[in-house]
Amino acid sequence: MAVNNLEDLKVWQEARILCQEVYSTIKTFPAEEKYNIVKHLRENSRGLPSNIAEGFYRFHYQESIHFYLIARGCLGEMKSDLYLSFDEKYISQEEFNNFLSKIEKIFIMLNSLIKSTKELKNDNSQT
| The CATH number of the domain covering residues in 8-125 | 1.20.1440.60
User: Does the pLDDT value for residue 6 go beyond 60?
Assistant: yes
Q: Classify 66 as helix, strand or coil.
A: helix
pLDDT on residue 121: 73
pLDDT on residue 127: 53
User: Does the pLDDT value for residue 123 go beyond 80?
Assistant: no
User: Does the pLDDT value for residue 15 go beyond 80?
Assistant: yes
Q: How far is CA 69 from the centre of its chain?
A: 10
Task: Give tens-digit pLDDT for 27-85.
Answer: 999 999 999 999 999 999 999 999 999 999 998 999 999 999 999 999 999 999 999 99
Task: Give tens-digit pLDDT for 81-99.
Answer: 999 999 999 999 999 999 9
* Residue 103: CA count within 13 A, CB half-sphere: 21
pLDDT tier, 126 (very low <50, low <70, confident <90, very high otherwise): low
**Domain ranges (residues) in the chain:** 8-125
Amino acid identity of 86? F
pLDDT on residue 1: 59
pLDDT on residue 120: 84
Q: How much is the pTM?
A: 0.92
